[in-house]
Amino acid sequence: MDILKKIVVDKRKEVNFKKELIPIQAFEMMPFFDRKTVSLSKKLKKSNTGIIAEFKRKSPSKSMINETANIEDVALGYEEAGASGMSVLTDEKYFGGTMDDLLLARENCNLPLLRKEFIIDEYQIIEAKAIGADVILLIAAILTRGEIKQFSEFAKSLNLDVLLEVHNEEELQKSIMPSLDMLGVNNRNLKTFEVSLETSKSLSQSIPNDFVKVSESGISNIEAIKELKLYGYQGFLIGENFMKTDNPGASAKDFISLL
């Protein structure tokens, strides 16, 4: 079983368990649920750099990346660095994240926040809104076209932006619909974990210009961003490159200053 399938099996169990514990009404009463969201896609369109800086403690491919980083400091650091947005992993088992991480990021910065999660149920979208997210991630590889439509339209009804992630042409073609704001190309092959920017380049022509193009994974230098901009990309999701350092915020600042 590849890692994505394994994660989804565990995620279904987790979501079903949570649904029994916490009713939707509890999330709707949380302070951030009625907060006015900030559009990441609009911010990326106006940005010269387009950096979406990620907070990620570990990953299945690299195991522990940074177990000492403080989410409050990192969120503040990313904002001061001039990032266009921040991505926060909320999956605990595989990425060491929690919903509290996103809540704390929300309390400590004004950046548009992406909830990086394996969404397989509307319940998680309500959770995202309640903990202060502005954007949700939908992964084409784990969803049907019908689910992508259902979840993206539901997210839009809550004023959340939607970033749809694809890995290949087939996933892209089944996913294109008006309820998406951004189309993200993940340069990592989830079966082999190999990373290649050629994935973003080859898929760029197939992404309609109505959507903000985002390149994800394997971006570790300025040259890569300059190159990808030539293919129409306006957003660049960078996590490991900043998180593997002692001070992710300072690393992001140094990186962004060179763009």
Is 217 an annotated catalytic residue?
Answer: yes
Is 165 an annotated catalytic residue?
Answer: yes
Residue 242, strand partner residues? none
Task: Give Cα 114 distance to the centre of its chain.
Answer: 5
Asked if 96 and 60 touch (Cβ cutoff 8 Å), the reply is no
Alpha-carbon distance of 54 to 78, in angstroms, equals 9
Token output for 220: 């570790």
- Of 54, 79, 171, 240, the active-site residue reads 54
- Of 186, 187, 200, 215, the active-site residue reads 186
- Radius of gyration of the CA atoms of the chain, in A: 17
Of 47, 40, 54, 45, the C-alpha closest to 91 is 54
Is 56 an annotated catalytic residue?
Answer: yes
Is 186 an annotated catalytic residue?
Answer: yes
Is 13 an annotated catalytic residue?
Answer: no
Of 16, 181, 18, the C-alpha closest to 99 is 18
Residue 215, strand partner residues? 185, 236
Asked if 184 and 193 touch (Cβ cutoff 8 Å), the reply is no
Is 220 an annotated catalytic residue?
Answer: no
- Of 117, 171, 216, 240, the active-site residue reads 216
- Of 116, 187, 200, 240, the active-site residue reads 116
- 61 burial (CB, 10 Å; 0-12 / 13-18 / 19+) is middle
Asked if 206 and 172 touch (Cβ cutoff 8 Å), the reply is yes
- Of 79, 117, 127, 165, the active-site residue reads 165
Q: To which residue do tokens 């996103």 refer? A: 102
Token output for 216: 């994800």
Is 157 an annotated catalytic residue?
Answer: no
Asked if 208 and 176 touch (Cβ cutoff 8 Å), the reply is yes
- Of 11, 41, 47, 56, the active-site residue reads 56
User: What are the catalytic residues?
Assistant: 54, 56, 116, 165, 186, 216-217
